Structure 1
Amino acid sequence: MENVLKRELNTARLKGFGYAGGGCISQGQSYETDSGRVFVKVNHKSQAKKMFDGEMASLEAILKTNTVKVPQPIKVISLSDGGSMFVMEHLDIHSLNRYMAKLGEQLADLHLHNAKLNEQQQRDAQTVGKGPGQSDIQYVDKFGFHIVTCCGYIPQNNDWQNDWVNFFTQQRLQIQMDLIEKDYGDREARELWSKLQKGVPLTATARIFCFLENTSTRLKTRRRLVMEMLIDCPVYSWKRKYLKNLRKRTLVSMHSP
Protein backbone atom coordinates (compact mmCIF):
# COMPACT_ATOMS: atom_id res chain seq x y z
CA MET A 1 0.00 0.00 0.00
CA GLU A 2 2.84 2.42 0.81
CA ASN A 3 4.39 1.75 -2.61
CA VAL A 4 1.10 2.74 -4.21
CA LEU A 5 1.04 5.93 -2.17
CA LYS A 6 4.61 6.81 -3.15
CA ARG A 7 3.82 6.33 -6.81
CA GLU A 8 0.51 8.17 -6.82
CA LEU A 9 1.84 11.09 -4.76
CA ASN A 10 5.15 11.16 -6.62
CA THR A 11 7.14 11.15 -3.39
CA ALA A 12 10.29 9.36 -2.28
CA ARG A 13 9.65 10.18 1.35
CA LEU A 14 6.72 8.48 3.04
CA LYS A 15 6.99 8.23 6.80
CA GLY A 16 4.05 7.62 9.07
CA PHE A 17 3.68 9.72 12.20
CA GLY A 18 1.17 10.31 14.95
CA TYR A 19 -1.61 7.99 15.98
CA ALA A 20 -2.86 5.48 13.43
CA GLY A 21 -6.46 4.50 13.90
CA GLY A 22 -9.95 5.03 12.61
CA GLY A 23 -13.64 4.69 13.16
CA CYS A 24 -16.09 1.90 12.48
CA ILE A 25 -15.60 2.12 8.70
CA SER A 26 -12.19 3.45 7.63
CA GLN A 27 -8.67 3.54 9.04
CA GLY A 28 -6.45 6.60 8.96
CA GLN A 29 -2.76 7.49 9.11
CA SER A 30 -0.75 10.70 8.67
CA TYR A 31 2.44 10.71 6.60
CA GLU A 32 5.41 12.95 5.90
CA THR A 33 5.98 13.32 2.14
CA ASP A 34 8.25 15.35 -0.14
CA SER A 35 5.45 17.92 -0.46
CA GLY A 36 4.47 18.06 3.21
CA ARG A 37 2.15 16.23 5.56
CA VAL A 38 -0.92 14.35 4.37
CA PHE A 39 -3.65 12.32 6.01
CA VAL A 40 -4.74 9.08 4.34
CA LYS A 41 -8.03 7.26 4.90
CA VAL A 42 -8.06 3.60 3.87
CA ASN A 43 -10.99 1.31 3.27
CA HIS A 44 -10.77 -2.13 1.66
CA LYS A 45 -14.47 -2.54 0.85
CA SER A 46 -15.68 -2.36 -2.74
CA GLN A 47 -17.93 0.61 -1.86
CA ALA A 48 -14.97 2.72 -0.74
CA LYS A 49 -14.31 4.45 -4.07
CA LYS A 50 -17.85 5.80 -4.34
CA MET A 51 -17.77 6.83 -0.69
CA PHE A 52 -14.43 8.66 -1.00
CA ASP A 53 -15.34 10.31 -4.33
CA GLY A 54 -18.41 11.80 -2.65
CA GLU A 55 -16.39 12.91 0.35
CA MET A 56 -13.78 14.57 -1.87
CA ALA A 57 -16.43 16.48 -3.84
CA SER A 58 -18.10 17.55 -0.59
CA LEU A 59 -14.86 18.95 0.83
CA GLU A 60 -14.20 20.79 -2.43
CA ALA A 61 -17.67 22.36 -2.28
CA ILE A 62 -17.21 23.47 1.34
CA LEU A 63 -13.79 24.94 0.58
CA LYS A 64 -15.26 27.09 -2.19
CA THR A 65 -17.55 28.81 0.32
CA ASN A 66 -14.54 30.04 2.31
CA THR A 67 -16.56 29.75 5.52
CA VAL A 68 -15.18 26.92 7.64
CA LYS A 69 -11.83 25.13 7.71
CA VAL A 70 -11.78 21.65 6.21
CA PRO A 71 -8.83 19.63 4.87
CA GLN A 72 -7.87 20.21 1.25
CA PRO A 73 -8.68 16.98 -0.65
CA ILE A 74 -5.83 15.70 -2.80
CA LYS A 75 -6.62 12.38 -4.42
CA VAL A 76 -8.70 9.19 -4.31
CA ILE A 77 -6.59 6.14 -5.13
CA SER A 78 -7.92 2.71 -6.08
CA LEU A 79 -6.33 -0.38 -4.51
CA SER A 80 -5.78 -3.76 -6.12
CA ASP A 81 -8.09 -5.49 -3.63
CA GLY A 82 -11.04 -3.33 -4.72
CA GLY A 83 -10.73 -0.84 -1.89
CA SER A 84 -9.54 2.76 -2.00
CA MET A 85 -7.49 5.40 -0.25
CA PHE A 86 -8.42 9.05 0.19
CA VAL A 87 -5.49 11.44 0.54
CA MET A 88 -6.06 14.90 1.98
CA GLU A 89 -4.27 17.70 3.76
CA HIS A 90 -3.08 16.87 7.26
CA LEU A 91 -4.57 19.18 9.89
CA ASP A 92 -2.90 19.38 13.27
CA ILE A 93 -6.02 19.24 15.43
CA HIS A 94 -6.03 19.23 19.21
CA SER A 95 -8.77 20.20 21.64
CA LEU A 96 -11.43 22.34 20.00
CA ASN A 97 -13.28 23.35 23.16
CA ARG A 98 -12.08 26.96 23.12
CA TYR A 99 -12.98 27.28 19.42
CA MET A 100 -16.61 26.17 19.73
CA ALA A 101 -17.85 29.77 19.46
CA LYS A 102 -15.93 30.34 16.23
CA LEU A 103 -17.06 26.99 14.83
CA GLY A 104 -20.68 27.91 15.51
CA GLU A 105 -20.27 31.19 13.64
CA GLN A 106 -18.59 29.52 10.68
CA LEU A 107 -21.18 26.76 10.37
CA ALA A 108 -23.94 29.37 10.45
CA ASP A 109 -22.17 31.16 7.59
CA LEU A 110 -21.80 27.87 5.70
CA HIS A 111 -25.52 27.09 5.89
CA LEU A 112 -26.46 30.62 4.84
CA HIS A 113 -23.89 30.85 2.06
CA ASN A 114 -26.17 29.86 -0.83
CA ALA A 115 -28.92 32.24 0.32
CA LYS A 116 -26.40 35.07 0.59
CA LEU A 117 -25.25 34.39 -2.97
CA ASN A 118 -28.84 34.76 -4.14
CA GLU A 119 -29.22 38.07 -2.29
CA GLN A 120 -25.97 39.36 -3.78
CA GLN A 121 -26.95 38.36 -7.31
CA GLN A 122 -30.28 40.13 -6.92
CA ARG A 123 -28.58 43.31 -5.69
CA ASP A 124 -26.07 43.19 -8.56
CA ALA A 125 -28.86 42.76 -11.11
CA GLN A 126 -30.60 45.90 -9.80
CA THR A 127 -27.46 48.03 -9.84
CA VAL A 128 -27.01 50.15 -12.98
CA GLY A 129 -23.81 49.35 -14.82
CA LYS A 130 -23.04 46.29 -12.71
CA GLY A 131 -23.53 42.81 -14.09
CA PRO A 132 -23.47 39.49 -12.25
CA GLY A 133 -20.26 38.95 -10.33
CA GLN A 134 -17.78 36.30 -11.39
CA SER A 135 -17.21 33.57 -8.81
CA ASP A 136 -16.10 29.96 -8.57
CA ILE A 137 -19.39 29.16 -6.87
CA GLN A 138 -22.84 30.15 -8.10
CA TYR A 139 -26.24 30.30 -6.45
CA VAL A 140 -28.18 27.02 -6.70
CA ASP A 141 -31.98 27.11 -6.77
CA LYS A 142 -32.51 23.35 -6.48
CA PHE A 143 -31.88 20.68 -3.87
CA GLY A 144 -29.29 17.96 -4.36
CA PHE A 145 -25.63 17.53 -5.29
CA HIS A 146 -23.77 16.74 -8.49
CA ILE A 147 -22.37 13.43 -7.22
CA VAL A 148 -23.47 10.48 -5.10
CA THR A 149 -22.44 10.75 -1.45
CA CYS A 150 -22.69 8.07 1.24
CA CYS A 151 -24.08 7.66 4.74
CA GLY A 152 -21.65 5.01 5.91
CA TYR A 153 -21.65 2.59 2.98
CA ILE A 154 -25.19 3.50 1.92
CA PRO A 155 -25.21 5.57 -1.31
CA GLN A 156 -27.33 8.71 -1.13
CA ASN A 157 -29.30 9.66 -4.24
CA ASN A 158 -28.60 13.38 -4.74
CA ASP A 159 -30.50 13.94 -8.01
CA TRP A 160 -31.64 17.56 -8.23
CA GLN A 161 -35.17 18.36 -7.05
CA ASN A 162 -37.16 21.58 -7.10
CA ASP A 163 -38.35 21.37 -3.49
CA TRP A 164 -36.89 20.22 -0.19
CA VAL A 165 -39.81 18.04 0.95
CA ASN A 166 -39.69 15.89 -2.18
CA PHE A 167 -35.91 15.60 -2.00
CA PHE A 168 -35.89 14.63 1.68
CA THR A 169 -38.79 12.18 1.59
CA GLN A 170 -37.89 10.46 -1.69
CA GLN A 171 -34.11 10.57 -1.60
CA ARG A 172 -33.38 10.30 2.11
CA LEU A 173 -36.28 8.68 3.94
CA GLN A 174 -37.46 6.44 1.09
CA ILE A 175 -34.11 4.66 0.83
CA GLN A 176 -34.27 3.80 4.52
CA MET A 177 -37.77 2.40 4.12
CA ASP A 178 -36.63 0.37 1.09
CA LEU A 179 -33.81 -1.12 3.18
CA ILE A 180 -36.22 -1.97 6.02
CA GLU A 181 -38.51 -3.74 3.57
CA LYS A 182 -35.58 -5.55 1.93
CA ASP A 183 -33.91 -6.66 5.16
CA TYR A 184 -36.95 -7.32 7.35
CA GLY A 185 -39.97 -7.59 5.05
CA ASP A 186 -41.90 -5.31 7.40
CA ARG A 187 -45.32 -4.82 5.78
CA GLU A 188 -46.60 -2.66 8.62
CA ALA A 189 -43.72 -0.21 8.20
CA ARG A 190 -44.42 -0.03 4.46
CA GLU A 191 -48.12 0.68 5.04
CA LEU A 192 -47.41 3.32 7.68
CA TRP A 193 -44.85 4.99 5.44
CA SER A 194 -47.36 5.10 2.59
CA LYS A 195 -49.83 6.92 4.86
CA LEU A 196 -47.20 9.22 6.30
CA GLN A 197 -45.98 10.43 2.91
CA LYS A 198 -49.38 11.95 2.21
CA GLY A 199 -49.05 14.14 5.28
CA VAL A 200 -45.37 14.98 5.19
CA PRO A 201 -45.75 18.26 3.26
CA LEU A 202 -48.33 19.38 5.83
CA THR A 203 -46.24 18.81 8.93
CA ALA A 204 -44.87 21.83 10.74
CA THR A 205 -41.25 20.76 10.29
CA ALA A 206 -41.62 20.19 6.57
CA ARG A 207 -43.36 23.54 6.14
CA ILE A 208 -40.53 25.24 8.01
CA PHE A 209 -37.86 23.62 5.85
CA CYS A 210 -39.75 24.51 2.67
CA PHE A 211 -40.09 28.05 3.90
CA LEU A 212 -36.43 28.24 4.87
CA GLU A 213 -35.18 27.07 1.51
CA ASN A 214 -37.76 28.55 -0.83
CA THR A 215 -36.07 31.07 -3.08
CA SER A 216 -38.91 33.55 -2.64
CA THR A 217 -38.43 33.71 1.14
CA ARG A 218 -36.49 36.72 2.38
CA LEU A 219 -33.07 35.96 3.86
CA LYS A 220 -33.89 37.73 7.12
CA THR A 221 -36.95 35.54 7.62
CA ARG A 222 -34.93 32.39 6.99
CA ARG A 223 -32.37 33.51 9.54
CA ARG A 224 -35.08 34.08 12.16
CA LEU A 225 -36.58 30.63 11.53
CA VAL A 226 -33.16 28.97 11.72
CA MET A 227 -32.65 30.60 15.10
CA GLU A 228 -36.09 29.57 16.34
CA MET A 229 -35.46 25.93 15.38
CA LEU A 230 -32.05 25.92 17.01
CA ILE A 231 -33.51 27.15 20.29
CA ASP A 232 -35.50 23.92 20.53
CA CYS A 233 -32.54 21.63 19.78
CA PRO A 234 -31.55 19.22 22.58
CA VAL A 235 -28.01 20.10 23.56
CA TYR A 236 -25.39 18.13 25.49
CA SER A 237 -23.23 20.19 27.82
CA TRP A 238 -20.12 20.12 25.60
CA LYS A 239 -22.14 21.47 22.68
CA ARG A 240 -23.80 24.34 24.52
CA LYS A 241 -21.17 26.96 23.80
CA TYR A 242 -21.04 25.95 20.14
CA LEU A 243 -24.81 26.12 19.62
CA LYS A 244 -25.12 29.28 21.71
CA ASN A 245 -22.79 31.09 19.36
CA LEU A 246 -24.40 29.55 16.28
CA ARG A 247 -27.72 30.98 17.49
CA LYS A 248 -26.12 34.30 18.38
CA ARG A 249 -24.53 34.63 14.94
CA THR A 250 -27.84 33.83 13.28
CA LEU A 251 -29.64 36.41 15.44
CA VAL A 252 -27.08 39.12 14.70
CA SER A 253 -27.16 38.38 10.97
CA MET A 254 -30.91 39.01 10.96
CA HIS A 255 -30.20 42.71 11.28
CA SER A 256 -27.77 42.89 8.36
CA PRO A 257 -29.11 44.18 5.03
Structure 2
Amino acid sequence: MNMDQLTKILRQSIGNSIQILSCDLVGGGCINQCYHLVTDDRAYFVKCNERSYLDMFEKEHEALVALAAHANLLIPKPINSGKVENDSYLVMEFIESSSQSTYYWERLGEGLAGMHRQTKNLFGWETDNYIGRLPQSNKWHQSWTKYFVQERLRPQIKLARDSRILPPDVQIDLEKLCGRMDQYIVPGLPAFLHGDLWSGNLMTGPLGEPCLVDPSVYYGHREIELAFTRLFGGFDERFYQTYNQCYPLEAGFQQRFDIYNIYPLLVHLNLFGRSYLSDIRQILRKYL
Protein backbone atom coordinates (compact mmCIF):
# COMPACT_ATOMS: atom_id res chain seq x y z
CA MET A 1 0.00 0.00 0.00
CA ASN A 2 1.41 3.39 -0.96
CA MET A 3 1.56 6.61 1.05
CA ASP A 4 -1.36 8.19 -0.80
CA GLN A 5 -3.64 5.28 0.15
CA LEU A 6 -2.49 5.36 3.78
CA THR A 7 -3.13 9.11 3.89
CA LYS A 8 -6.66 8.54 2.54
CA ILE A 9 -7.25 5.92 5.24
CA LEU A 10 -6.20 8.25 8.03
CA ARG A 11 -8.14 11.19 6.64
CA GLN A 12 -11.28 9.03 6.39
CA SER A 13 -10.70 7.90 9.97
CA ILE A 14 -9.29 10.97 11.74
CA GLY A 15 -9.80 14.09 9.65
CA ASN A 16 -8.67 15.84 6.49
CA SER A 17 -5.93 17.88 8.14
CA ILE A 18 -3.82 14.97 9.40
CA GLN A 19 -0.28 14.59 8.00
CA ILE A 20 1.85 11.42 8.04
CA LEU A 21 5.38 12.14 9.23
CA SER A 22 6.77 8.58 9.01
CA CYS A 23 5.58 5.15 7.90
CA ASP A 24 7.04 1.76 8.83
CA LEU A 25 5.88 -1.64 7.65
CA VAL A 26 5.69 -3.84 10.76
CA GLY A 27 4.96 -7.46 11.58
CA GLY A 28 1.32 -8.20 12.20
CA GLY A 29 0.90 -11.90 11.59
CA CYS A 30 0.67 -13.75 8.29
CA ILE A 31 -2.67 -12.35 7.09
CA ASN A 32 -2.45 -8.56 6.81
CA GLN A 33 -0.08 -5.78 5.86
CA CYS A 34 0.48 -3.68 8.99
CA TYR A 35 1.87 -0.16 9.36
CA HIS A 36 3.11 2.05 12.17
CA LEU A 37 2.18 5.58 11.15
CA VAL A 38 3.48 8.62 13.02
CA THR A 39 1.46 11.75 12.32
CA ASP A 40 1.39 15.36 13.44
CA ASP A 41 -1.30 14.22 15.89
CA ARG A 42 -0.16 10.85 17.32
CA ALA A 43 0.93 7.34 16.28
CA TYR A 44 -1.47 4.83 14.72
CA PHE A 45 -1.41 1.13 13.87
CA VAL A 46 -3.10 0.27 10.58
CA LYS A 47 -3.97 -3.18 9.22
CA CYS A 48 -4.70 -3.47 5.51
CA ASN A 49 -5.88 -6.21 3.20
CA GLU A 50 -8.03 -6.80 0.13
CA ARG A 51 -11.53 -5.32 0.04
CA SER A 52 -13.06 -8.73 0.79
CA TYR A 53 -11.52 -8.64 4.29
CA LEU A 54 -13.67 -5.69 5.41
CA ASP A 55 -16.02 -7.87 7.46
CA MET A 56 -13.05 -9.42 9.26
CA PHE A 57 -11.78 -5.95 10.20
CA GLU A 58 -15.25 -4.83 11.31
CA LYS A 59 -15.54 -7.88 13.56
CA GLU A 60 -12.10 -7.22 15.04
CA HIS A 61 -13.10 -3.60 15.67
CA GLU A 62 -16.20 -4.79 17.55
CA ALA A 63 -14.18 -7.40 19.46
CA LEU A 64 -11.63 -4.85 20.66
CA VAL A 65 -14.44 -2.65 21.98
CA ALA A 66 -16.01 -5.63 23.78
CA LEU A 67 -12.65 -6.78 25.17
CA ALA A 68 -11.91 -3.33 26.59
CA ALA A 69 -15.34 -3.32 28.27
CA HIS A 70 -14.76 -6.71 29.92
CA ALA A 71 -11.03 -6.77 30.71
CA ASN A 72 -9.11 -4.70 33.25
CA LEU A 73 -6.07 -4.92 31.00
CA LEU A 74 -4.52 -2.72 28.33
CA ILE A 75 -6.36 -3.10 25.00
CA PRO A 76 -5.55 -1.01 21.90
CA LYS A 77 -8.40 1.36 21.10
CA PRO A 78 -9.92 0.82 17.64
CA ILE A 79 -10.60 4.03 15.72
CA ASN A 80 -12.14 3.08 12.40
CA SER A 81 -12.62 0.24 9.94
CA GLY A 82 -13.54 0.78 6.33
CA LYS A 83 -12.45 0.55 2.72
CA VAL A 84 -10.46 2.69 0.32
CA GLU A 85 -10.24 1.84 -3.39
CA ASN A 86 -9.66 -1.94 -3.61
CA ASP A 87 -8.51 -2.37 -0.01
CA SER A 88 -10.03 -2.60 3.45
CA TYR A 89 -8.45 -1.47 6.71
CA LEU A 90 -8.59 -1.21 10.48
CA VAL A 91 -7.07 1.80 12.25
CA MET A 92 -6.26 1.64 15.96
CA GLU A 93 -4.03 3.38 18.44
CA PHE A 94 -0.39 2.35 18.37
CA ILE A 95 0.81 0.71 21.58
CA GLU A 96 4.44 1.53 22.31
CA SER A 97 6.03 -1.65 23.63
CA SER A 98 8.56 -1.87 26.44
CA SER A 99 10.11 -4.51 28.70
CA GLN A 100 7.92 -6.47 31.09
CA SER A 101 7.37 -5.09 34.57
CA THR A 102 8.24 -7.14 37.65
CA TYR A 103 4.65 -8.29 38.16
CA TYR A 104 3.69 -8.61 34.49
CA TRP A 105 2.55 -12.25 34.71
CA GLU A 106 0.70 -11.76 37.97
CA ARG A 107 -1.19 -8.82 36.47
CA LEU A 108 -2.10 -10.91 33.45
CA GLY A 109 -3.33 -13.79 35.63
CA GLU A 110 -5.41 -11.48 37.78
CA GLY A 111 -6.79 -9.61 34.77
CA LEU A 112 -7.75 -12.74 32.85
CA ALA A 113 -9.38 -14.29 35.92
CA GLY A 114 -11.47 -11.15 36.39
CA MET A 115 -12.47 -11.18 32.73
CA HIS A 116 -13.48 -14.85 32.90
CA ARG A 117 -15.73 -14.15 35.90
CA GLN A 118 -17.97 -12.08 33.62
CA THR A 119 -20.65 -14.48 32.54
CA LYS A 120 -23.88 -14.91 30.61
CA ASN A 121 -26.65 -17.52 30.53
CA LEU A 122 -25.63 -18.96 27.12
CA PHE A 123 -22.49 -19.95 25.23
CA GLY A 124 -21.79 -18.03 22.03
CA TRP A 125 -21.69 -14.45 20.84
CA GLU A 126 -24.02 -11.91 19.25
CA THR A 127 -22.33 -12.25 15.84
CA ASP A 128 -20.13 -14.72 14.03
CA ASN A 129 -16.50 -13.65 13.75
CA TYR A 130 -13.11 -15.00 12.65
CA ILE A 131 -10.25 -17.10 13.97
CA GLY A 132 -7.30 -15.91 11.94
CA ARG A 133 -8.90 -15.44 8.51
CA LEU A 134 -11.28 -18.39 8.95
CA PRO A 135 -14.98 -17.80 9.73
CA GLN A 136 -16.01 -18.76 13.26
CA SER A 137 -19.63 -19.56 14.07
CA ASN A 138 -21.02 -18.30 17.39
CA LYS A 139 -24.63 -19.48 17.52
CA TRP A 140 -26.03 -19.45 21.05
CA HIS A 141 -26.17 -22.76 22.96
CA GLN A 142 -27.19 -23.75 26.46
CA SER A 143 -24.76 -26.68 26.44
CA TRP A 144 -21.02 -26.08 26.33
CA THR A 145 -20.43 -29.55 24.90
CA LYS A 146 -22.82 -28.92 22.01
CA TYR A 147 -21.31 -25.50 21.40
CA PHE A 148 -17.76 -26.86 21.35
CA VAL A 149 -18.66 -29.70 18.98
CA GLN A 150 -21.09 -27.88 16.66
CA GLU A 151 -19.62 -24.37 16.50
CA ARG A 152 -15.93 -25.17 16.92
CA LEU A 153 -14.88 -28.69 15.94
CA ARG A 154 -17.31 -29.71 13.19
CA PRO A 155 -16.91 -26.59 10.99
CA GLN A 156 -13.13 -27.06 11.02
CA ILE A 157 -13.45 -30.80 10.34
CA LYS A 158 -15.70 -30.05 7.36
CA LEU A 159 -13.35 -27.39 6.02
CA ALA A 160 -10.36 -29.74 6.24
CA ARG A 161 -12.32 -32.56 4.61
CA ASP A 162 -13.54 -30.33 1.78
CA SER A 163 -9.97 -29.11 1.25
CA ARG A 164 -8.77 -32.75 1.04
CA ILE A 165 -6.21 -32.33 3.80
CA LEU A 166 -7.94 -34.52 6.39
CA PRO A 167 -7.21 -38.26 6.03
CA PRO A 168 -10.33 -40.47 6.32
CA ASP A 169 -9.06 -42.27 9.44
CA VAL A 170 -8.49 -38.96 11.25
CA GLN A 171 -11.96 -37.75 10.26
CA ILE A 172 -13.51 -40.97 11.60
CA ASP A 173 -11.66 -40.62 14.90
CA LEU A 174 -12.61 -36.94 15.21
CA GLU A 175 -16.28 -37.83 14.74
CA LYS A 176 -15.93 -40.55 17.39
CA LEU A 177 -14.46 -37.98 19.75
CA CYS A 178 -17.28 -35.53 19.03
CA GLY A 179 -19.83 -38.24 19.86
CA ARG A 180 -18.17 -38.97 23.19
CA MET A 181 -17.38 -35.40 24.21
CA ASP A 182 -19.62 -35.49 27.29
CA GLN A 183 -17.25 -38.11 28.72
CA TYR A 184 -14.24 -35.82 28.50
CA ILE A 185 -15.20 -32.25 29.35
CA VAL A 186 -17.05 -30.84 32.34
CA PRO A 187 -19.85 -28.25 32.54
CA GLY A 188 -18.99 -24.70 33.43
CA LEU A 189 -20.34 -21.17 33.36
CA PRO A 190 -20.11 -19.21 30.11
CA ALA A 191 -17.07 -16.95 30.54
CA PHE A 192 -16.14 -13.95 28.44
CA LEU A 193 -13.10 -15.08 26.43
CA HIS A 194 -10.45 -13.35 24.35
CA GLY A 195 -10.91 -16.31 22.01
CA ASP A 196 -7.43 -16.46 20.43
CA LEU A 197 -5.07 -16.12 23.35
CA TRP A 198 -1.57 -17.33 22.54
CA SER A 199 1.76 -15.61 23.06
CA GLY A 200 1.59 -13.97 19.61
CA ASN A 201 -1.51 -12.04 20.71
CA LEU A 202 0.03 -10.88 23.97
CA MET A 203 2.36 -7.89 24.10
CA THR A 204 3.87 -5.52 26.63
CA GLY A 205 2.57 -1.98 26.97
CA PRO A 206 4.53 1.25 27.56
CA LEU A 207 4.51 0.81 31.35
CA GLY A 208 5.52 -2.86 31.22
CA GLU A 209 1.93 -4.02 31.60
CA PRO A 210 0.27 -6.90 29.68
CA CYS A 211 -1.66 -5.91 26.58
CA LEU A 212 -4.08 -8.16 24.66
CA VAL A 213 -4.48 -7.86 20.88
CA ASP A 214 -6.26 -9.64 17.99
CA PRO A 215 -9.30 -10.92 19.92
CA SER A 216 -11.96 -13.31 18.64
CA VAL A 217 -14.40 -12.93 21.51
CA TYR A 218 -17.27 -15.12 22.67
CA TYR A 219 -18.71 -16.68 25.83
CA GLY A 220 -17.21 -20.13 26.32
CA HIS A 221 -15.71 -22.43 28.94
CA ARG A 222 -12.65 -20.74 30.42
CA GLU A 223 -10.64 -23.96 30.25
CA ILE A 224 -10.42 -23.68 26.45
CA GLU A 225 -8.70 -20.28 26.80
CA LEU A 226 -6.14 -21.56 29.29
CA ALA A 227 -5.55 -24.69 27.21
CA PHE A 228 -4.56 -22.61 24.19
CA THR A 229 -2.01 -20.67 26.26
CA ARG A 230 -0.28 -24.03 26.88
CA LEU A 231 -0.30 -25.23 23.26
CA PHE A 232 2.58 -23.14 21.89
CA GLY A 233 4.02 -22.02 25.24
CA GLY A 234 5.36 -18.61 26.16
CA PHE A 235 3.37 -18.05 29.36
CA ASP A 236 5.22 -17.98 32.69
CA GLU A 237 4.08 -20.27 35.52
CA ARG A 238 3.40 -17.17 37.64
CA PHE A 239 0.51 -16.41 35.29
CA TYR A 240 -1.15 -19.78 35.95
CA GLN A 241 -0.50 -19.65 39.69
CA THR A 242 -2.03 -16.17 40.03
CA TYR A 243 -4.99 -17.06 37.83
CA ASN A 244 -5.77 -20.15 39.93
CA GLN A 245 -5.47 -18.16 43.15
CA CYS A 246 -7.93 -15.57 41.84
CA TYR A 247 -10.33 -18.01 40.19
CA PRO A 248 -9.60 -21.67 41.08
CA LEU A 249 -10.03 -24.21 38.29
CA GLU A 250 -11.95 -27.49 38.50
CA ALA A 251 -9.98 -30.58 39.48
CA GLY A 252 -8.43 -32.40 36.53
CA PHE A 253 -8.41 -29.37 34.24
CA GLN A 254 -4.91 -30.15 32.98
CA GLN A 255 -6.12 -33.51 31.65
CA ARG A 256 -8.70 -31.68 29.52
CA PHE A 257 -6.31 -29.22 27.89
CA ASP A 258 -5.36 -31.54 25.01
CA ILE A 259 -8.94 -32.15 23.98
CA TYR A 260 -9.61 -28.39 23.81
CA ASN A 261 -6.45 -27.85 21.77
CA ILE A 262 -7.79 -30.00 18.96
CA TYR A 263 -9.69 -26.87 17.91
CA PRO A 264 -6.69 -24.54 17.37
CA LEU A 265 -4.77 -27.44 15.83
CA LEU A 266 -7.57 -27.94 13.29
CA VAL A 267 -7.53 -24.19 12.63
CA HIS A 268 -3.78 -24.35 11.99
CA LEU A 269 -4.27 -27.41 9.80
CA ASN A 270 -6.73 -25.43 7.66
CA LEU A 271 -4.55 -22.33 7.59
CA PHE A 272 -1.08 -23.79 7.20
CA GLY A 273 -1.38 -27.40 6.06
CA ARG A 274 -0.72 -31.01 7.02
CA SER A 275 2.20 -30.44 9.41
CA TYR A 276 -0.36 -30.23 12.27
CA LEU A 277 -1.84 -33.67 11.58
CA SER A 278 0.67 -35.49 13.78
CA ASP A 279 -0.33 -33.42 16.84
CA ILE A 280 -4.01 -34.10 16.15
CA ARG A 281 -3.36 -37.85 15.79
CA GLN A 282 -1.42 -37.87 19.05
CA ILE A 283 -4.32 -36.33 20.96
CA LEU A 284 -6.83 -38.68 19.35
CA ARG A 285 -4.74 -41.69 20.43
CA LYS A 286 -4.79 -40.36 23.99
CA TYR A 287 -8.60 -40.26 24.19
CA LEU A 288 -9.82 -43.06 21.92
- TM-score (structure 2 length as normaliser): 0.63
Please list the CA deviations of residues 162-219 of structure 1 after superposition, one character each: whole Å capped at 9, or x if unmatched. 221111111110111101210116433333333322211222xx22xx23449xxxxx
Deviation at 1:241, TM superposition (A): 2.5
Q: Does 1:92 align with 2:96?
A: yes
Indicate conservation of the 8 Å contact 1:67/1:110, yes or no. Answer: yes
Indicate conservation of the 8 Å contact 1:146/1:158, yes or no. Answer: yes
Which residue of structure 2 aligns with residue 39 of structure 1?
Answer: 45
Select the residue among 105, 111, 114 that pairs with 1:106.
Answer: 111
Give the stretch that moved more between structures: 182-191 or 193-202.
182-191
Q: In structure 2, how many angstroms separate the alpha carbons of the residues matched to 1:182 and 1:237?
A: 33
Q: Go from structure 1 to structure 2 and tell me whether the alpha carbon gap of 1:77 and 1:34 turns closer, same or farther (over 3 Å shift).
A: farther
Deviation at 1:41, TM superposition (A): 1.2
Which residue of structure 1 aligns with residue 122 of structure 2?
Answer: 142
- Which structure: larger Rg? 1
Q: Does 1:250 align with 2:244?
A: no
Q: In structure 1, how many angstroms separate the alpha carbons of the residues matched to 2:172 and 2:231?
A: 30
Which residue of structure 2 aligns with residue 191 of structure 1?
Answer: 172
Indicate conservation of the 8 Å contact 1:68/1:110, yes or no. Answer: no
Q: Go from structure 1 to structure 2 and tell me whether the alpha carbon gap of 1:57 and 1:188 turns closer, same or farther (over 3 Å shift).
A: same
Select the residue among 2, 5, 8 that pairs with 2:6.
Answer: 2
Deviation at 1:236, TM superposition (A): 4.9
Structure 1 alignment gaps of length 5 or more: 115-139, 215-224, 252-257
Q: Does 1:211 align with 2:188?
A: yes
- TM-score (structure 1 length as normaliser): 0.70
Which residue of structure 1 aligns with residue 284 of structure 2?
Answer: none
Choose between structure 1 and 2: higher helix proportion: 1
Select the residue among 134, 148, 162 that pairs with 1:168.
Answer: 148
The amino acid across from 1:91 in the alignment is: I
Q: In structure 1, how many angstroms separate the alpha carbons of the residues matched to 2:49 and 2:36?
A: 15
Indicate conservation of the 8 Å contact 1:39/1:89, yes or no. Answer: yes
Q: Does 1:68 align with 2:73?
A: yes
- Give the percent of matched residue pairs that are identical in Structure 1 and Structure 2: 25
The amino acid across from 1:181 in the alignment is: R
Which residue of structure 1 aligns with residue 181 of structure 2?
Answer: 200
Q: In structure 1, how many angstroms separate the alpha carbons of the residues matched to 2:101 and 2:170?
A: 41
User: How many residues are matched?
Assistant: 206
Indicate conservation of the 8 Å contact 1:62/1:68, yes or no. Answer: no
Deviation at 1:63, TM superposition (A): 1.2
Indicate conservation of the 8 Å contact 2:7/2:19, yes or no. Answer: no
Q: Go from structure 1 to structure 2 and tell me whether the alpha carbon gap of 1:52 and 1:213 turns closer, same or farther (over 3 Å shift).
A: same
Select the residue among 17, 30, 54 that pairs with 1:49.
Answer: 54
The amino acid across from 2:32 in the alignment is: S
Deviation at 1:54, TM superposition (A): 1.6
The amino acid across from 1:158 in the alignment is: N
Please list the CA deviations of residues 21-46 of structure 1 after superposition, one character each: whole Å capped at 9, or x if unmatched. 33211222222345432211122362
Q: In structure 2, how many angstroms separate the alpha carbons of the residues matched to 1:174 and 1:237?
A: 28
Q: Does 1:179 align with 2:159?
A: yes
Whose relative contact order is higher, 1 or 2, with alpha carbons under 8 Å and at least 6 apart? Answer: 2
Indicate conservation of the 8 Å contact 2:109/2:242, yes or no. Answer: yes
Q: In structure 2, how many angstroms separate the alpha carbons of the residues matched to 1:13 and 1:159?
A: 43
3-state SS of the aligned residue for 1:77?
Answer: strand
Q: Go from structure 1 to structure 2 and tell me whether the alpha carbon gap of 1:234 and 1:54 turns closer, same or farther (over 3 Å shift).
A: closer
3-state SS of the aligned residue for 2:76?
Answer: coil
Which residue of structure 2 aligns with residue 241 of structure 1?
Answer: 238
